[in-house]
Amino acid sequence: MIKKFRKRHVVPYMFIAVFLLLLYIFLRQDRKADFEARCGDVWMCRLIKGLEDRIAELQGRLDSLKGSRKDVGANQQQIQEDLNKRPVNPRFGEPRAPEAGGAAESVDVVGLTLPILLMACDRKEVSKALDSLLQYNPDLRRFPIIVSQDCGHEPTAKIIAKYTNVRHIKHVNNTAIVPQKKGQNVGYYKISRHYRWALTQVFDVYNYEAVIIVEDDLEVSPDFFEYFLATYPLLKDDPTLFCVSAWNDNGKSNFIDLNQPEMLYRTDFFPGLGWMLTKSTFKQLQPKWPAAYWDDWVREPGQMGQGAKSCIRPEISRTSTFGKKGVSNGQFFNEHLKFINHATTDVHFTQLDLSYLFKNNFDSFMDYRLNSVPVISLRDLKNRITKENEVKVIYKNNKEFQSHAKAVGIMSDLKSGIPRTAYRGVVTFVYMGIRVYFVPAKPWAGYQA
Ligand code: UD1
Ligand code: MN
């Protein structure tokens, strides 16, 4: 019976044993071994493999979708942050609506090259001025730097020569200078002669459309370049604009609104100290360029027409000067200039609607503003007897302007009858947290030298 059983059952048992053995070998294969190799041509394995691939692919897509959703979120957050950062200008206009276009788009600035002309002589700290310009220069092709050196001072020339990414030109004119009046500083004659020569190079030799002029004792703000780029269309389009300047003559920290780094004004007083000039304006100045005191000459009626032409100036200066020792004596520096700091802000001026600075707009804004601001006396201002946060104080003439100015501590000097920062006679500044306007009494007959 046993024999019978053996004979009858040995074959299936052998099959089972072989199957189990094969299964054992199969399962013992290294899990990391290639699935395809283990699987061979078995259709079931191929099916599983195909499904696995598909799952992996779908998982990949899901991950990338999750990633891009994160990106969109981050982008949206960035856009919102940028929008929030765009300063709302409560006094003169609103940020430019993205689709509306603005001043910056009325003239094409895309292909514009705006060179920087740095006037140098024998100041070794020219490297400080250059480092500052290079630090914030977004593109040297767009804002190429030309250093024009007067004075033939070799140690300074060597320092400039180290900057291989700027153009170094040298003014050589050894003709003796005889001042027109006794006691005049020859330095002012040399500066004026150098200015005429350097500007002639920029416009007649290199043929640029406009230039930003700085001196070897100036440092600039992070938004210095964008400021000039954004205001260029105004300068080009508004025939009543003579220049754009980076300087606020009353820019000491206690006289400015630090919460309004985007705020710009028009002024009838030429500020200089980092300013933009167009070729067409230079062409009018070139034939009559003065022998000395070029900046005060620009302020004369023959050039700026005592209010006929104005400049744009910022609430917070975009330049500061470290030039204590210079052609003029250091007193002005110690008492005044050294307290004017350049803004450390990075305002995106090209994203702002600057059309409020066109003459008609700005004049209307000013009239509207000043009509709604209450008048108080200088005494009440000084004693802060007011609850207003904007006030105007009237002055009758230059003399009274000067005594008002001295009483509060702003610049009291006038050039060609124009107070520093004045626009249509109005001088505005912050005093003990109050926005103040010194306003000439009506009817105003214009600036009187
Ligand atoms: C002041 C003005 C300056 C103006 C000058 C001319 C201020 C703070 N500065 O000069 O903007 O240009 O009056 O009226 O208001 N330089 C030469 N050749 C010289 C000497 C100087 O080219 O022989 C250059 C300097 O390198 C500098 C510029 O002229 O770039 C002004 O010289 P500086 O010594 O700084 O005189 P300031 O008294 O500041
Ligand atoms: Mn100087």
Q: pLDDT digit string (tens) for 75-94?
A: 445 544 543 443 333 333 34
Which helix (H) or strand (E) covers residue 402, if one does?
helix 398-408
CA–centroid distance, residue 271 to ligand 2 (Å): 13
Task: Report pLDDT for 110.
Answer: 83
The neighbouring-strand residues paired with 218 are: 321
Q: What pLDDT sits at residue 95?
A: 45
Among 350, 345, 353, 347, which residue's Cα sits nearest to residue 95?
Answer: 353
Task: Give 261's contacts (C-beta < 8 A, 6+ positions apart).
Answer: 87, 314, 315, 316, 343, 345, 347
Name the CATH code of domain 373-449 (choices 3.10.180.20, 3.40.50.2000, 1.20.1740.10, 3.40.720.10): 3.10.180.20
Sign, CA torsion 263/264/266/270: positive
CA 449 to centroid of ligand 1, rounded, Å: 25
**Cα(265)–Cα(322) distance, rounded to whole angstroms?**
25
Amino acid, single-letter form, for residue 284: Q
Domain ranges of the chain: 2-84, 116-357, 373-449
Measured CA to CA in angstroms, residue 252 lies from 8, 19, 47, 62, 259 at distances of: 113, 95, 79, 57, 14
Q: Which residues are catalytic?
A: 295
Specify the residue with its C-alpha closest to ligand 1, atom 1. 328
Confidence (pLDDT) at 20: 72
Please report the beta strands in 302-389, taking only residues with DSSP state E, as ranges in sequence order: 310-314, 319-321
Please say whether the beta carbons of 263 and 91 come within 8 A.
Answer: yes
Assess whether the C-beta atom of 326 lies below 6 angstroms from ligand 1: yes
**Given CA atoms 264, 266, 270, 275 in this order, what sign does their dihedral have?**
positive
The pLDDT of residue 214: 99
The CATH-assigned architecture of domain 116-357 is Alpha-Beta Complex (3.90)
**Nearest ligand by distance to the CA of 247:** 1
Overall pTM > 0.95: no
Instruction: Find out whether the beta carbon of 415 lies less than 6 Å from any atom of ligand 1.
Output: no
User: Can you tell me which residue has the tokens 């007193």?
Assistant: 331
Distance of alpha carbon 165 from the chain centroid: 21
Residues β-bridged to residue 265: 313
Specify whether the CB–CB gap between 299 and 269 falls below 8 A: yes
Whose C-alpha lies nearest to ligand 1, atom 27? 215
pLDDT of residue 242: 98
Instruction: Decide whether any atom of ligand 1 lies within 6 Å of the 271 Cβ.
Output: no
Q: Give the chain's residues under pLDDT 70.
A: 1-13, 15, 17-19, 21, 23-51, 53-108
